[in-house]
Amino acid sequence: MTGALTWARLSYRQQKWELLLVTLGVVGVVAAMLYFVSTMDGMQAAFPECLSNMRAQMESPVGPPLACQAILEEWYEHQGWTSTLMTAARGAPLGLGVMLGAPLVAREIDGRTAQLAWSLSRSRIGWLARRIAFMVIFVLALLAIVAMAGELLAAAIEPDRNLAKDFFRFGERGLPIVARGAGALMLGVLVGAMIGRVLPAVLVSVIVIGIAFAGLSLGQEAWNRGEATIQRLYDDAGQPVGFDYASMDVEFGLLRPDGSYLGYNEAFERGLLPEMYQDEQGRIYASAADMEAGRVFGHEARLVIEAERYPELVLRDSVLWVLLGSAALGAAAVVVARRRPV
């Protein structure tokens, strides 16, 4: 226990200013989140006639009551700020990976203290594990607070929805924030171990972590596309189909008469839809002549992942980031074990 505390103190001293900076940043974001949670919950309690079931009010022919105009304007102003805070929560794991992961090993190599530390340790791998342990606990604790604050804020923004099965603000609340932070931290450690200089390692880790985030996001989008179901926006009678806001929109496009799906981007890129005409029943035509002749090109549709699969996709996203982080940690251990003295 004493040895663990010694290593924790050493890790804190070596990255004291980075730790203080990210702590202040997280405290500021979480405090702002909790402020809006309290404010919006209070507004819901004080003005239920205006803020209960708002979506139905907006979609009704008469709209919300005129007496609620000022309340709704204030509500939507708060929502604008909460959107910024939720975006900050999405970026927090990646930022912590850069600021705390990249310098972790690079600083000791850059300061020429690594060789002495390695000579005094039984193994370089053990030294790396002890150096990382404190930072992992610290980062995961901070991000767990952000993740919980994100859940509270999302519930305050959408109090009428069951967010346990809802893709609202996916990736900006809950488990993915913590898992992405673990993966980003390990990527930062790997970059720092490979480069061995603090500033270049920080700059390169921004690129590497950004590429990893983009790659995993695009990969999961393709994965989701393969598992999505087609949902028409209008039925055969031309009536709008109930829109499930809790599900995940993968893509908007067209359901062709033969039952196949065609995304709008693909249709335009392939020149299949040089012009687009739409009637009141949501039917799409490729030209005015086709519309007059009743030759339907397709029906408005979307690819969706059902809301019931939210827990599954949360777990999948988290597992992918943890696996990426584990691979990066293993690679960092190999680099440290084989690195020659500077």
- Tens digit of pLDDT at every position of the chain (342 positions): 555 666 667 666 777 888 899 999 999 999 999 999 999 999 988 888 887 766 655 555 556 677 788 888 898 899 999 999 999 999 999 999 999 999 988 888 887 777 777 777 778 888 888 888 889 999 999 999 999 999 999 999 988 889 999 999 999 999 999 999 999 999 999 999 999 899 999 999 999 999 999 999 999 999 999 999 999 988 887 788 877 889 999 999 999 999 899 998 888 888 888 888 888 888 899 888 889 888 999 999 999 999 999 999 999 999 999 999 999 999 999 998 887 755
Instruction: Note the pLDDT of residue 62.
Output: 59
Q: CA 81 to CA 158: how far, in whole Å?
A: 15
Residue 58: partners with Cβ closer than 8 Å, 6 or more residues away: 64
Instruction: Note the pLDDT of residue 67.
Output: 76
Instruction: Note the pLDDT of residue 92.
Output: 95
Q: CA 331 to CA 194: how far, in whole Å?
A: 10
Closest CA to 19 of 109, 103, 112, 127: 103
Alpha helix segments (H runs only) across the chain: 2-14, 16-46, 48-51, 54-59, 69-96, 102-110, 114-120, 124-157, 175-195, 198-227, 264-269, 288-293, 310-338
Instruction: Note the pLDDT of residue 46.
Output: 85
Instruction: Note the pLDDT of residue 16.
Output: 80
How many other CB atoms are there within 10 angstroms of residue 337's CB atom?
A: 14
Radius of gyration of the chain (CA): 26
Residue 157: partners with Cβ closer than 8 Å, 6 or more residues away: 40, 79, 82, 168
Residue 12, CB-side half-sphere exposure with 13 Å CA sphere: 10
Q: CA 150 to CA 217: how far, in whole Å?
A: 20
Closest CA to 298 of 214, 213, 234: 234
Closest CA to 251 of 191, 301, 179, 182: 301
Instruction: Note the pLDDT of residue 29.
Output: 96
